[in-house]
Amino acid sequence: MTRSDPAAELTREVLDRVGATPDPRLRALLDAAVRHLHAFAGEVGLTPDEWLAGIRFLTAVGQTSDAQRQEFILLSDTLGVSSLVETIAHPAAGVATEATVLGPFYVPGAPWRAFGDSIAILDPSGVPASVRGRVCGPSGAGLAGAVLDVWQCASNGLYDVQDPDQPRGNMRGRFRADDDGRFSFRTTRPVSYQIPSDGPVGALLRASGRHAWRAAHIHVIVSADGHLPVTTHLFDSADSYLDSDAVFGVRESLVKEFVPQTDGSMLVEHEFVLRAA
Amino acid sequence: MTRSDPAAELTREVLDRVGATPDPRLRALLDAAVRHLHAFAGEVGLTPDEWLAGIRFLTAVGQTSDAQRQEFILLSDTLGVSSLVETIAHPAAGVATEATVLGPFYVPGAPWRAFGDSIAILDPSGVPASVRGRVCGPSGAGLAGAVLDVWQCASNGLYDVQDPDQPRGNMRGRFRADDDGRFSFRTTRPVSYQIPSDGPVGALLRASGRHAWRAAHIHVIVSADGHLPVTTHLFDSADSYLDSDAVFGVRESLVKEFVPQTDGSMLVEHEFVLRAA
């Protein structure tokens, strides 16, 4: 028995099968996943050897992940999927601050620090920097008591959770804005760093002729009562990797100038605009 | 700065980046993978929580795999991707025997056995069965010395590599066809069995309202000089799971009747047609 299009018939059979999934959202996700997976394989004419190489790659990605390292997030990051999911979840809306990737180094429960304090408990080689500004709503009114949850790597390019020589909570802190929504904290100027590249994702980057550098940035999650929180970065406008950030996290609106001060420190100012909840 | 379609702009940026991949085939594969991954996320409006659940699922699939078990192949099988890749590699061509999935239990180097011998070294509860037929080319001429590499599970539903109570090579064998392309071997009637369902793929099947049963089958790879080998199955037409095989391996042309013989054994006959190389 011959059939007109066995591949299309097979895809229909798989879609019929997953169409019986009771939960409607899981059903929709599986339906779309099957359609796109099959379309991918059909479009490129995926060979059995290539398929097996893909199976081995994905297995290695899973097996490289552990409590300290998430290689699948790294894979998603380097294929722009993490950034895309943030973009979908937080569409640019007028003046509201753009979102970008959370990244794998966020740790909930950072130490509360006082207005103007430093997150750089131990970073002797860093260039001192101050970050100041305001958190406001869509109308421009300051949001009293807004919270900034801040984290970044030290000047050696490592986050505290990657570096046994840093105390926990180093380069991290939560800050509360004042009654006008103003905030101020100190840190060290962020540096470019390479994402972990000794695993399968690093091998894929090298095979793609890509580097593993992230443009220098400060992470921040900004939240305030009655408003949608935003997970975002502040990028250093002097960085060399703004146009080739390995995880596609750069948004032009988040690139800021670090301005040299007379005392040798840097100052960056930014206004975060939250959307109403 | 606002942009007309930040998601589309991001996808273009990722495609530009992977477009620098030196190897043209890897470049094409990455380009298509990024397009379909991004299209999937955009189409379903993938949320950050769903994305994280997917990351955790794929990580668990990788971590469930080991030397004895390949959970990513199982995932590919149950989403019909393995079957699709075989269908693409071996498009139905006139009378040529259709291909189907290799499955995870093939072991190269099965014992050579004599014409008419049994692969069932140890399967006391199995129903004896004979398999006979011919290997021929597209013109119908028998292919002298064609090789059949055969394997199946024992009547307990387990392959030798899954079952410490079976000797290695049990239910496996290589057979050489005679000068007319005729072959003959004995075995036990194949049984339906469940694919491993105690891992993340089993959890996904349950969440999808799907069972884990494979329709009863005998695996065979048929090869002959000057012809393309075919990796295929013979299915038992009396099986209950022909319409719902968990890995989408069934092809109507591969479903055969096991005919009862007067001595209580079964006989199945089949002609394998190879394409010229």
pLDDT digits (tens, 9 = 90+) for B52-82: 999 999 999 999 998 878 999 999 999 999 9
Q: In the predicted model, is pLDDT for residue B2 greater than 50?
A: no
Give the residue-averaged pLDDT of A230-255.
Answer: 96
Q: Which H or E run includes A172?
A: strand A172-176
For B40, B115, B135, B221, B254, the CA distances from B224, given in Å and listed in that order, are: 42, 16, 9, 10, 19
Which of B44, B80, B89 lies nearest to residue A28, judging by beta carbons? B44
B94/A48 Cβ within 8 A? no
Residues A103-137: pLDDT tens digits? Answer: 888 999 999 999 999 999 999 999 999 999 999 99
pLDDT in the model for residue A103: 87
A91/B18 Cβ within 8 A? no
Q: Give residues with Cβ within 8 angstroms of A219, minimum separation 6.
A: A102, A103, A105, A106, A150, A151, A152, A232, A233
Distance separating alpha carbons of residues B274 and B136, to the nearest angstrom: 6
pLDDT in the model for residue B67: 80
Q: Tally the C-alpha atoms within 13 A of residue A97's C-alpha that lie toward its C-beta.
A: 28
Phi first, then psi: give them for residue B174, nearest 5 degrees. Answer: -110, 135
Residues A131-157: pLDDT tens digits? Answer: 999 999 999 999 999 999 999 999 999
Structure tokens at A16: 């019929």
Q: Name the residue among B242, B225, B248 with its Cα closest to residue B75.
A: B248
Q: In the predicted model, is pLDDT for residue B91 greater than 60?
A: yes
Mean pLDDT over the full length of chain A: 95
Residues B126-179: pLDDT tens digits? Answer: 999 999 999 999 999 999 999 999 999 999 999 999 899 999 999 999 999 999
Q: Does domain B76-273 have CATH number 2.60.130.10?
A: yes
pLDDT in the model for residue A8: 95
Report the percent of chain B where pLDDT is more than 90: 91
Which one-letter DSSP state was computed for residue A101? -
Q: Give residues with Cβ within 8 angstroms of B138, minimum separation 6.
A: B94, B95, B96, B273, B274, B275, B276
Amino acid at B115: F
Query: Which residue's entry shows tokens 């798989």?
Result: A14
Closest chain B CA to residue A58: B62
Q: In the predicted model, is pLDDT for residue A165 greater than 50?
A: yes
CB–CB contacts below 8 A, A to B: 206
Distance from the A112 Cα atom to the nearest Cα atom in chain B, whole angstroms: 26
Amino acid at A186: R
Q: Where in chain A is the domain with CATH 2.60.130.10?
A: 88-273
Residue B50: list chain A partners with CB under 8 A: 29
pLDDT in the model for residue A150: 98
Give the residue-averaged pLDDT of B224-236.
Answer: 96
Distance separating alpha carbons of residues B116 and B183, to the nearest angstrom: 8
A207/B26 Cβ within 8 A? yes
Per-residue confidence band for B1, with pLDDT thresholds at 50, 70 and 90: very low
Residues B181-195: pLDDT tens digits? Answer: 999 999 999 999 999
Residues A81-94: pLDDT tens digits? Answer: 999 999 998 877 78
Structure tokens at A35: 């359609």
Q: In the predicted model, is pLDDT for residue B3 greater than 90?
A: no
Phi first, then psi: give them for residue A5, nearest 5 degrees. Answer: -145, 85
Q: In the predicted model, is pLDDT for residue B197 greater than 90?
A: yes
Residues A212-223: pLDDT tens digits? Answer: 999 999 999 999
pLDDT in the model for residue A186: 98
Asked whether the beta carbons of A266 and A127 are under 8 A apart, the reply is yes
Q: In the predicted model, is pLDDT for residue A2 greater than 60?
A: no
Distance separating alpha carbons of residues A212 and A229, to the nearest angstrom: 29
Which of A6, A46, A58 lies nearest to residue B85, judging by beta carbons? A46
B2/A209 Cβ within 8 A? no
Q: In the predicted model, is pLDDT for residue A69 greater than 90?
A: no
pLDDT in the model for residue A1: 42
For A29, A159, A199, B202, B233, the CA distances from A23, given in Å and listed in that order, are: 10, 40, 36, 16, 34
A89/B48 Cβ within 8 A? yes
How many beta carbons lie within 10 A of that of residue A262, not counting itself?
Answer: 5
Phi first, then psi: give them for residue A153, nearest 5 degrees. Answer: -85, 160
Give the residue-averaged pLDDT of B260-276.
Answer: 96
Residue B89: list chain A partners with CB under 8 A: 47-48
Q: Which H or E run includes B201?
A: helix B200-207
Which one-letter DSSP state was computed for residue A269? E
Asked whether the beta carbons of A102 and B49 are under 8 A apart, the reply is no
Query: Which residue's entry shows tokens 């530009």?
Result: B16
Q: Give residues with Cβ within 8 angstroms of A25, minimum separation 6.
A: none
Q: In the predicted model, is pLDDT for residue A248 greater than 60?
A: yes
Instruction: Say if strands A128-136 and A266-273 run parallel, antiparallel, or are unpaired.
Output: parallel
Phi first, then psi: give them for residue A10, nearest 5 degrees. Answer: -65, -45
Per-residue confidence band for A4, with pLDDT thresholds at 50, 70 and 90: confident
Closest chain A CA to residue B27: A208
Distance separating alpha carbons of residues B153 and B256, to the nearest angstrom: 18
Where do the DSSP E strands lie in chain B? 128-136, 147-151, 172-176, 182-188, 193-194, 213-214, 217-223, 230-236, 255-256, 259-260, 266-273
Rg (CA), chain B: 22
Class of domain A88-273: mainly beta
